[in-house]
């Protein structure tokens, strides 16, 4: 679906989406380079952040480039195989985001609630296992959703009311009985949506309970500041995801559903690098050193906050 048939509006949207895509890719790659170039950031928290940034790059790269090419060529067509491939990659990276946010919540839980055992629990082998588990769970989710669509699909010249192959919309376009597939999709939604969110909420319940037992206000702020960025990303990810789900559930116009999907697939991955860098002094310092070494000019600090507060790790 095209956002507009007007040539001037299409040119404006092309520039807007291309700019947002470049900012997303460059911002997330900058985080990865900064973490890998600074030995002080070789900790489990930043290890998972690097993988989250990689997932965000893949997440937005499955949809935006195709839309940009479609706008340039004035051809809003995708092949059946291309649609299944796009849906597979989209689901894989969305699930990776979902599961990695749960893993990062567990990391913050161990760091704050069991600080003396943090290095023992979150050892490199455990971090590698959690990353592998996240990938395998995401791959299983993607395969199951593609399998459901393959079992019930009979597409022939259908219109998808979005700018990419949204799995939920593809199921609505099938011409066969979708009761069994709907049951499978709801079960997948519970496993990969409700359970990770429940795990994140439980982790933060334990984190807040532990922080409230800290006697000094400065200590409480210092402990909670290590979770602020992650909590903001969680709210943004699940908030926009819920908006997309509600837009597809209720009888909203195709344009409104597409706009909700834009916020979820383009805006959220673009904001994550800013959220994790602007208020994180360690990350901000590493990014400034990286940029300074690349351009040969000192870069001023962009960290937003009062005073100098260091991470507890």
The domains of the chain, with CATH numbers, are: 7-153+164-295 (1.20.1070.10)
Phi-psi sector, 158: left (phi>0), alpha (psi -120 to 50), beta? beta
Query: Which ranges of the chain have pLDDT less than 50?
Result: 304-313
Look at residue 191 in the predicted model and tell me its pLDDT: 82
104-146 pLDDT, tens digit each: 999 999 988 888 888 999 999 999 999 999 999 999 988 988 8
Look at residue 68 in the predicted model and tell me its pLDDT: 86
| pTM of model > 0.95 | no
Find all residues with CB under 8 Å of 83, minimum gap 6, and list them: 155, 160, 165, 170
145-171 pLDDT, tens digit each: 888 877 766 666 677 777 788 777 776
Look at residue 150 in the predicted model and tell me its pLDDT: 79
Look at residue 313 in the predicted model and tell me its pLDDT: 37
- Provide φ and ψ at 74, rounded to 5°: 55, 40
**What's the rounded Cα separation, in Å, for the pair 276 and 295?**
23
Look at residue 100 in the predicted model and tell me its pLDDT: 93
**What's the rounded Cα separation, in Å, for the pair 313 and 270?**
27
Look at residue 131 in the predicted model and tell me its pLDDT: 94
3-state secondary structure of 164: coil
Look at residue 89 in the predicted model and tell me its pLDDT: 92
Look at residue 154 in the predicted model and tell me its pLDDT: 64
Alpha-carbon separation of residue 304 from 34, 58, 274 (angstroms): 18, 28, 11
Look at residue 308 in the predicted model and tell me its pLDDT: 43
């Amino acid at each position: 679906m095209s956002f507009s048939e007007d040539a001037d509006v299409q040119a404006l949207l092309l520039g807007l989406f291309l700019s947002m895509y470049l900012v997303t890719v460059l911002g997330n790659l900058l985080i990865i380079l900064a973490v890998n170039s600074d030995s002080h950031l070789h900790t489990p928290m930043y290890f998972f952040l690097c993988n989250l940034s990689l997932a965000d790059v893949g997440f937005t790269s499955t949809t935006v480039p195709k839309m940009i090419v479609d706008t340039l060529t004035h051809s809003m067509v995708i092949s059946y195989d291309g649609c299944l491939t796009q849906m597979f990659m989209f689901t894989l990276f969305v699930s990776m985001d979902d599961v990695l946010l749960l893993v990062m919540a567990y990391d913050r839980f161990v760091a704050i609630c069991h600080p003396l055992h943090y290095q023992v629990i979150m050892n490199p082998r455990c971090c590698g296992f959690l990353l592998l588990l996240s990938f395998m769970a995401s791959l299983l989710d993607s395969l199951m959703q593609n399998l459901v669509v393959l079992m019930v699909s009979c597409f022939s010249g259908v219109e998808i009311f979005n700018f990419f192959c949204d799995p939920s919309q593809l199921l609505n376009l099938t011409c066969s009985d979708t009761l069994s597939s709907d049951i499978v999709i709801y079960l997948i939604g519970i496993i990969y949506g409700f359970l990770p969110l429940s795990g994140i909420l439980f982790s933060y319940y334990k984190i807040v309970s532990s922080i409230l037992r800290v006697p000094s206000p400065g200590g409480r702020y210092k402990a909670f500041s290590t979770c602020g960025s992650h909590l903001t990303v969680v709210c943004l990810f699940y908030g926009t995801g819920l908006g997309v789900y509600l837009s597809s559930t209720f009888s909203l116009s195709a344009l409104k559903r597409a706009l909700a999907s834009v916020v979820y697939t383009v805006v959220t991955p673009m904001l994550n690098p800013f959220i994790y860098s602007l208020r994180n002094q360690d990350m901000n310092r590493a990014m400034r050193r990286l940029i300074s070494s690349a351009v040969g000019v000192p870069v001023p600090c962009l960290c937003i906050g009062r005073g100098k507060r260091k991470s507890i790790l």
